[in-house]
Chains A and B, each alone.
Chain A
């Protein structure tokens, strides 16, 4: 990870209103920056929502984007995470013919389990640090996952 391609996690608290998401993502796309993942949900009992954005790029540009985020009228706060707890969830569909007890055991190592059983497939859920989710997905490759969905990271500063 060199200076020009640092991974950054930014949380943004915004007024929950139309168009606020595009205001935020425009700041990234306008600079040709990719958003690795983005999650949004309303903050309970408030008019605000919290976004967690994972991106990578030059530290300088990301700092600039953070300042510009502050400048947006509906933005209340911006956190550039340094020391955080970060989690992500993934759902994975496996053929029912695979070794389900192996799959379940591996899932347990990543805070998960099989959560749904259908006629032909099972769905497993895990939740862990994004890096560990990467590892998990590697480990279960041999069970022929048919579909994978990741939630994107959420983070809280310690």
Chain B
């Protein structure tokens, strides 16, 4: 069939089963927007900033396990979207981001709103394309979706000049992809798996080190089974939260810079690390030479470049986690859970010695209480997004996650401003669940214009602003490592968050007590409109435990012990 490049984009999105596109129009992409206007197969959600469009697509992708789609114009539209691309790249989120470009004849002339978009996105995408002929569009779009979702997922950027979207060419999406140079390795080497299982059986203090790759591979059920069958305790990375149910007896906790004492100690004392879809990030390992120093390392990952990148793997296994874990399960009978009884005891003792906790010893509410409280009230019924800072770490520590894809947060890039638009994408993908965004008084201002999107599209995200009148995480480092010189982190001067929400047609609450908080949350859920719940919390609370940057995991700063909780 002979159609325009713009129509091809629409047809391809429909063929890929896309039901929601996030975006923002402009000159170079207008042909495509005209084609969007004429169709009714998918909805378009107009965000109020291109960065937000990409974050919303990320939230959507994370929750739905589908490829998220964002659409933007050339020049400033594209550069605004770059942070989103980088964020998705760091966290392996499958996206297809389509941008308009100036017409081919103007490329390279410093034309109005021209920027070398593929030059910029090259280093923050899994792959990118500049389309120079509409006849290539079906193949390129099909490849883009395939590359985004397969192997180690990631964002793919497709830049289309305006004359290419106007060009008429033959459209046929029913083509076989021929990517001779891209064949992700999904099946683990059986001999290596067998050797690894034997090594586990011979170990005394093994630990599962669970990473975000498990979530991407939709392998949480298999991993749960493997953990329970082997009786081997597990730590989760920030990105893996929800892999095990929060109260699973074998879940030691989150590890890393703000990991629990028990998780970090278990990692320091183990003789066998079984890394599943984890990448030994510096925020996780602390000082590398001391990380799991005496351990044999089994490293399972779909991305060969992740294996032995930082820590040498004795048993590297390249493959999709789900496949490899299934293969491991089939052989796991040689592992005797009884053998680790004493090791499990040791870990329980670690947890009793320094449990993950906080004290309610201030006039103002403690931020951790708020998070725990939402957990008590909503638990499994909410999807939880966050922004970046202390509130993010407390959410990872204290929210009782019970399923994969429940926790949506910017891990690798740590992008302030991620939370609210991501939560909008989450709500669009999973309207039946409450979409909560735990945010900070700093972060929320980085994409607060999205109140308009949420109001217009009736996506009632509840933003819980843990207001400490500080760029809290930076303030914490200044307190601890810069002799309390709180340089440019005091946010005493603030907007009226209640009025801000109201100005857009949302609803705002300011609460200072537990009773007020409960009432506000219940009211917000009932009103079913986008909300800001501003909670005045203790200003100087620190996230503990803390492994100072570059320190060893076992050298944690710990919460000072007090009498009552």
Contact = CB atoms under 8 A, between A and B. Distances in A.
A and B interact:
yes
Contacts, number: 35
B304 A76 contact: no
Given A64-B305, A68-B305, A70-B305, A26 B180 contact: no
Interface residues of A, number: 17
Interface in B117-154: 118-119, 122-123, 126-127, 130, 132, 147
A26 B182 CA distance: 19
Contacts of A22: 119, 122
B50 interface: no
Contacts of A152: none
Contact of A73 (B127, B304, B305): B127
B303 interface: yes
A70 B303 CA distance: 10
Given A18-B130, A64-B305, A76 B122 contact: no
Contacts of A75: 181
Contact of B130 (A14, A15, A19, A74): A19
Contact of A26 (B122, B130, B179, B305): B122
A73 B179 contact: yes
B457 interface: no
A64 B179 contact: no
B309 interface: yes
Contacts of B130: 18-19
Contacts of B180: 15, 76
Contact of B123 (A19, A30, A70, A71): A30
A15 B129 CA distance: 14
Contacts of B127: 73
A23 interface: yes
A73 B181 CA distance: 6
Contact of A19 (B118, B181, B304, B309): B118
Given A64-B305, A67-B304, A74 B122 contact: no
Contacts of A15: 180-181
Contacts of A70: 304-305
A137 B126 CA distance: 43
Size class of the contact patch on chain B: 10 to 19
Nearest to A13: B181
Interface string A54-81: 0000000000100110110111100000
Contacts of B179: 73
A108 B367 CA distance: 80
Contacts of A71: 303-305
Nearest to A75: B181
Interface string A12-55: 00110011001100100010000000000000000000000000
B119 A74 contact: no
B182 A73 contact: yes
B309 A64 contact: yes
B318 to A, nearest CB: 11
Nearest to B306: A67
A21 to B, nearest CB: 11
Contacts of A76: 180-181
A23 B123 CA distance: 8
Contacts of A74: 181
B137 to A, nearest CB: 16
Nearest to A30: B123
A26 B180 CA distance: 22
A125 B147 CA distance: 46
Nearest to A74: B181
Interface string B156-184: 00000000000000000000000111100
26 contacts: A15-B180, A15-B181, A18-B130, A18-B132, A19-B118, A19-B122, A19-B130, A22-B119, A23-B122, A26-B122, A26-B123, A30-B123, A64-B309, A67-B305, A67-B309, A68-B305, A70-B304, A71-B303, A73-B147, A73-B179, A73-B181, A73-B182, A74-B181, A75-B181, A76-B180, A76-B181
Interface of A: 14-15, 18-19, 22-23, 26, 30, 64, 67-68, 70-71, 73-76
**Shortest beta-carbon contacts, A-B, top 9:** A67-B305, A76-B181, A73-B127, A73-B182, A71-B305, A68-B305, A74-B181, A75-B181, A26-B123
Given A70-B305, A73-B179, 16 more contacts: A14-B181, A15-B180, A18-B132, A23-B122, A26-B122, A64-B305, A64-B309, A67-B304, A67-B309, A68-B305, A70-B304, A71-B305, A73-B126, A73-B147, A73-B182, A74-B181
Interface of B: 118-119, 122-123, 126-127, 130, 132, 147, 179-182, 303-305, 309
